[in-house]
Amino acid sequence: MNMRAQVDESAALPGLDAFLSVLVPAGYAGDIARDHATRIVHATDNSIYQVEPAAVLFPRDGEDIARIVGLASDHRIPLSPRGGGTGTNGQSLTRGVLVDTSRHMNRILELDLERQVVTVEPGVVLNQLNDYLQPHGLFFPPTVSTASRATLGGMVATDASGKGSRIYGKTSDYIEAMTIVFANGETFQVEAMSVAEARNLARRKDVVGHIHREVLRVVDENAGPIASNFPDMNRGLTGYNLKHVLGEDGRFRLSYLLAGSEGTLAFTTRLTLRLRRRPTCRALVPIRYASFQGALVDVQRLLQAEPAAIEILDDTILSLARQDVVWEEIAGVLGGDDGRPVGGLNFVEFVGESQGDVDAALARLSHLLSEQPGTVLDWKIVTDAKTIAGLWSLREKAVGLLGRLGGGKQGTPFVEDTAVPPEQLAPYVEEFRAILDRHGLAYGMFGHADVGCLHVRPALDMRLPEDAALIRPVSDAVAALTRKYGGLLWGEHGRGYRGEYSPFFFGGRLYDELCALKRVFDPLNLLNPGKLTSVDPARYPVERIDAVPLRGEKDRTIAAPLQRDYDRAVACNGNGACFNWDRHDPMCPSYKLTRDRRHSPKGRAAMLREWARSTSTATGEALPAAEIEEQLKASLDLCLSCKACSSQCPVKVDIPAMKSRFLHRYFKHRRRPLRHKIVAAMEPGLALARRFPRMANLGLRLLTLARWTRLVDLPAFCVPAPTTRLSRAEIGRLAAGPGRDEIILLEDNFTSSFDGHVVDAVADLLSRLGYRVHRAGPIANGKALHVLGMLDEFTKVAIAARAYQSELLATGLPVLGIEPVTVLMRDHEYAGPQFGEPLRIRSLDEFLANELENGRLGPARPASTAAGYYLFPHCTEKTAKPGTGQAWTRIFHHFGLDLKLPATGCCGMAGLFGHEAEHAQMSKHMFEMSWAPRLADLAPSTVVATGFSCRCQTKRYAGFSPLHPAQALLAQIGRPSDAKTPPAKYGTHQI
Which pLDDT band holds residue 441 (cuts at 50, 70, 90)?
A: very high
Residue 733 to residues 737, 805, 807, 841, Cα–Cα distance (Å): 7, 16, 12, 20
Paired with 268 in beta bridges are 180
| Residue-averaged pLDDT of the chain | 91
Between CA 154 and CA 961 the distance in angstroms is 43
pLDDT over 70, % of the chain: 94
Between CA 208 and CA 186 the distance in angstroms is 9
Main-chain phi, psi angles of 56, to 5 degrees:
-130, 130
Residue 3, pLDDT score: 33
Contact in structure between 266 and 258 (CB atoms under 8 Å): yes
Q: Is the pLDDT of residue 287 over 60?
A: yes
User: What's the angle, vertex CA 808, arms to CA 802 and CA 811, rounded to 5?
Assistant: 140
Residue 726, pLDDT score: 56
205 against 1, higher pLDDT: 205
- Could you report the per-residue pLDDT of 920-929, keeping only the tens digit for each? 999 999 999 9
Burial class (CB in 10 A: 0-12, 13-18, 19+), 713: middle
Span 824-844, average pLDDT: 90
Contact in structure between 751 and 759 (CB atoms under 8 Å): yes
- Could you report the per-residue pLDDT of 61-113, keeping only the tens digit for each? 999 999 999 999 999 999 999 999 989 999 999 999 999 999 999 999 999 99
Least confident of 170-184, 302-316, 828-842: 828-842
Nearest C-alpha neighbor of 197 from the set 255, 257, 256, 251? 251
Nearest C-alpha neighbor of 974 from the set 752, 760, 665? 760
Which pLDDT band holds residue 657 (cuts at 50, 70, 90)?
A: very high
Which residues, other chains included, contact 828 with Cβ-Cβ below 8 Å and sequence gap of 6+? 643, 646, 657, 880
Between CA 884 and CA 418 the distance in angstroms is 40
Between CA 905 and CA 920 the distance in angstroms is 17
User: What's the angle, vertex CA 895, arms to CA 893 and CA 896, rounded to 5?
Assistant: 65
- Could you report the per-residue pLDDT of 473-512, keeping only the tens digit for each? 999 999 999 999 999 999 888 899 999 999 999 899 999 9
Between CA 614 and CA 439 the distance in angstroms is 34
Output the CA torsion sign for 476, 481, 487, 492. Answer: negative
Strand 453-460 versus strand 899-900 pairing type:
unpaired
Which pLDDT band holds residue 8 (cuts at 50, 70, 90)?
A: very low
pTM of the predicted protein model: 0.92
Between CA 508 and CA 610 the distance in angstroms is 41
Which pLDDT band holds residue 390 (cuts at 50, 70, 90)?
A: confident
Q: Is the pLDDT of residue 329 over 80?
A: no
